Amino acid sequence: MGTTILSFEDRVVIETLHHEKHSLQYIADYLGFSKTTIFNEVHRLAGEYHAVKAQTDHEVKLSHRGRKTILTTNLKRLIEEKIKIQKWSIEQVAHVVRIAYKIIYNWIDQGLLDINVTDLPNHGIRRYSSQTS
């Protein structure tokens, strides 16, 4: 009974057994989850329980997890302008914007900024010299 993450198949079983009027304890024992987990799952959405709606709700809530980014459209535009047009280094931009320079490198690696290694004034020597492609 250690895990509480339900798969879509588990949700289909819960829906089927719940519509057949089985108790929450029976469903919990059948699937190997705690009764509280099944109770919370059945009451996830208002109204009648549907596995597809519950799975969609789970995926939406899962996508909202984690730390929110501080990258806004204005900040993105400013960083790209300073690096591409004014040929500033990432360290200079980070100092002016008051964020860690590593964050800007991470945004470049993640593709969140429209900047290539060749756009950098030192062509990425500081960050990318030890990495081989």
> Is there a single domain that holds both residue 79 and residue 56?
no
Residues contacting residue 88 through CB under 8 Å, at least 6 positions apart? 82, 121
pLDDT exceeds cutoff 80 at 73: yes
For 10, the 3-state DSSP assignment is helix
For residue 77, give both structure tokens. Answer: 């535009």
pLDDT band for position 110 (50/70/90)?
Answer: very high
Number of separate domains in the chain: 2
In a domain, 15, yes or no: yes
- d(CA 57, CA 129) in angstroms, rounded, equals 44
Shared-domain flag, residues 95 and 53: no
Query: Whole-number mean pLDDT of the chain?
Result: 89
Long-range contacts (CB closer than 8 Å, 24 or more residues apart) made by 70-73: 70/99, 70/103, 71/107, 71/112
The pLDDT of residue 118: 81
> Are 52 and 77 part of one and the same domain?
no
Q: What is the dihedral of CA 16, 19, 21, 26, to 10 degrees?
A: 30
Domain presence at residue 13: yes
Query: Does some domain include residue 133?
Result: no
Maximum distance among all alpha carbons in the chain? 69
Domain that holds residue 51: 8-63
Shared domain for 78 and 110, answered yes or no, is: yes
Asked if 85 and 48 sit in the same domain, the reply is: no
**Stated pTM of the model:** 0.60
- Is 115 in the same domain as 78? yes
Alpha helices for 1-129 (secondary structure H): 8-19, 24-31, 35-42, 51-63, 73-80, 90-97, 101-110, 125-128
- Which tokens belong to 120? 């950098």
What is the rounded distance in angstroms from the CA atom of residue 11 to the CA atom of residue 20? 14
Whether 21 is covered by a domain: the verdict is yes
| pLDDT tens-place string over residues 34-66 | 999 999 999 998 999 999 999 999 999 999 999
- The residue ranking higher by pLDDT, 122 or 4, is 4
Residue 100 in any domain: the answer is yes
Residue type, 24: L
